[in-house]
Structure 1
Amino acid sequence: MKFEELKNFLDEKADQYNIPGFIDDDPIQIPHRFSLKQDIEIAGFLAATISWGNRKSIIKSAEKMLEFMGNSPYDFVLNHSVRDLEAIRDKSVHRTFNGEDFSYFISQFKRIYTGNESLESLFKLGEKETNFLYAIERFRDNFLEPEKHRSHKHVSSPGKNSSAKRIMMFLRWMVRKDKRGVDFGIWENTDQKYLSIPLDVHTGNISRKLGLISRTQNDWKTVEQLDTAIRQFDENDPAKYDFALFGLGVTKELL
């Protein structure tokens, strides 16, 4: 397709899938159960962290975490007891993300929220930064304890060339602002023009079929290559095309 044809096609698909009905079958439904900003952040980060595999399974596992927290994530983070964490450590959560990981995240959240009103402050972009590469690395340095822990593997590092798909998805949820009702847009001091597409097998394959990327790996270098292509279509809201690429992947329309 020529540039205008491809832009119009992707705009149409983004418009088709960026609707409230998208929420019903997606892990984003988990933070949508809350109205308090901190509840949305915690529920969103946990749901995004376990977002690999079948979406129904992801949602079920995320609901399990909400139940452990009494369906009040922020209150639980701030007021949990040592006994609460001990009980969590024995729980099964989602695949390789187990109760020990969950309890570690809860402890880290408490430390972070004790000194910060929102997670947004941990993802602040530098003056000349055009994507979240270094912001995510700074977040990792802040969120994760210096000592090596098994849970570190669940917070990807673009600095080590990971696509950081789950963190990019969480950032899209928090940062993107539109009137469609899917993404939250509650981080008012972060510009959505710096967002990248959450890159995984499906969005990567569709992007290659459309000629948006040429690299065969789904890594951070490919994320940046996709940035270059997708920002030509809409430099102010590039992440809206995640809906188009994801939708095309689910429907297998291009296969």
Structure 2
Amino acid sequence: MICLKDKLEHIYSLYNKREYVDPDPLLFLYNYSEKKDREIAGFIAACLAYGRVELIMETVGHILGKLEPTPFGYLMSRTKKDMANDFKGFRYRFASDDHLISFLWGIRGVLKRFSSLENCFYAGWASEDETILPGLVFLFNQVNANKKIGHLLADPQKKSACKRSLLFLRWMVRQDQVDPGGWEKIRPSQLIVPLDTHMHKTGLMLSFTKRKNSDMKTALEITKGFKKILREDPVKYDFCLTRFGIKRDLNMDDLQKFIYT
């Protein structure tokens, strides 16, 4: 009988490929060869990754287009007034232009103090930490120093699953055909699955959790389930498994057939 790990590895071999990324805000990260630009683009793309994917892609593309030629150069050279002019009238779902400008200004403050988002994260994280949560709490508090970024960044000190922040960390820590990586000090074993609707359904299907709430406790339970299969990289299968439900030609019934037949 084929074990679950073998089945997951088979799904990974089929769908963890660049050709399956579109449409996904991860696409934008491939445009930046410099880590200092890629982490900023990734952070912005992840924090806007809610709602209809077509609108996500349009909105992230609009924002990053304003930050040309490089996100790092833009943030380090513009004043808050410049940003207000560049993004006047911006609105996406719950986010207004004031929220976005406060968010970008918060990132700029981090760059001024720590030189990169990565260094800021490390300032609140230790290699012996079980998960990335301590570093994520520190990064959140630094970016949200002015308390005006609204819902663009979830507070990891609350019950939220912090899906968008955990998605960003997957992109920056893991490195394979899909995830570009760049942050080399964090071990993939410290990552937590970015819990969206598709991963929650998968966690229930695999009996990794019985919880109905999509919160951090559920994300940790599902991560623990994957750790029993692949302790050193529990988030490895996140991308390929969530294609079922995101891609129009793949659905949860197809995934169930892969797992149980």
| TM-score (norm. length: structure 2) | 0.88
Distance in 1 between residues matched to 2:102 and 2:86, nearest whole Å = 10
For residue 164 of structure 2, what is the aligned residue in structure 1? 166
Q: Which residue of 2 aligns with 1:193?
A: 189
Aligned position for 1:210: 206
CA distance in 2 between counterparts of 1:253 and 1:205 reads 8
CA RMSD of aligned residues (A): 1.9
| Residue aligning to 1:227 | 223
- Measure, in 2, the Cα distance between the counterparts of 1:118 and 1:137: 16
Runs ≥4 in structure 1, deviation > 4 angstroms? Answer: none
Q: Please say if 1:252 is aligned against 2:251.
A: yes
CA distance in 2, matches of 1:25, 1:227: 25
| Counterparts in 2 of 1:24 and 1:153: CA distance versus 1, 3 Å | closer
Q: Deviation of residue 70 (structure 1)? A: 2.8
CA contact (8 A) 1:61 1:93 kept: no
Per-residue deviation, residues 101-158 of structure 1 (Å, max 9, x unmatched):
221122112211112232112223335421122221111122211x532x14321123
C-alpha distance in 1 between matches for 2:127 and 2:179: 25
Equivalent-residue separation in structure 2 for 1:196 and 1:108 (angstroms): 24
Whether contact under 8 Å (1:207, 1:245) holds in the other structure is no
1:115 is aligned, of 101, 113, 116, to: 113
Aligned counterpart, 2:139 = 139
In structure 2, the residue matched to 1:87 is 85
Alpha-carbon offset, residue 31 of structure 1: 1.7
Amino acid at match of 2:143: F
Q: Does 1:24 find its partner at 2:30?
A: no
CA distance in 1, matches of 2:51, 2:11: 23
Looking at structure 1, the residues matched to 215 and 143 of structure 2 have their Cα atoms a distance apart, in angstroms, of: 22
Pairwise CA distance, 1:34 = 1.2
Whole-Å separation in 2 of the counterparts to 1:253 and 1:244: 12
On the 8 A contact 1:64/1:93 being kept in 2, the answer is no
Aligned residues: 249
Moved more, 218-227 or 90-99: 90-99
What are structure 1's unaligned runs of at least 5 residues? none
Q: Secondary structure at the match of 2:241?
A: helix
Percentage of matched positions with identical amino acids: 27
Q: 1:237 to 1:127 in 2, by over 3 A?
A: closer
How far 1:48 moved relative to its partner?
Answer: 0.4
Aligned to 1:126: 126
Counterpart-to-counterpart distance in 1, 2:186 and 2:215 = 24
* Equivalence map 1:34-45=2 (5 Å): 34-45=32-43
Report the Cα distance in structure 1 between the residues aligned to 2:218 and 2:252, rounded to whole angstroms: 23
Asked if the contact 2:193–2:238 (Cα under 8 Å) also holds between the matched residues in 1, the reply is: yes
Partner of 2:259: none
What is the Cα deviation at residue 89 of structure 1? 4.6
CA distance in 2, matches of 1:129, 1:23: 31
- TM-score of the aligned structures, taking structure 1 as reference length: 0.90
Q: 1:108 to 1:81 in 2, by over 3 A?
A: same
Mapped contact 1:65–1:93 kept (Cα < 8 A) = no
**What amino acid is the match of 2:162?**
A
Instruction: Please give the alpha-carbon distance, in whole angstroms, between the structure 2 residues aligned to 1:193 and 1:148.
Output: 31
Deviation string for 1:18-75 (max 9, x for gaps)?
A: 1121333211111211111111011110010010122221111001001222342111
Q: What is the rounded CA distance, in whole Å, between the counterparts of 1:13 and 1:216 in structure 2?
A: 25
Paired amino acid for 1:231 = K
Instruction: List per-residue Cα deviations over 1:67-96 (Å, max 9, x = no partner).
Output: 222342111100013431221452324222
> Separation in 2 of the partners of 1:118 and 1:22?
30
Q: Indicate which of 233, 238, 244 corresponds to 1:237.
A: 233
Task: Give the gaps of 5 or more residues in structure 2.
Answer: 257-261
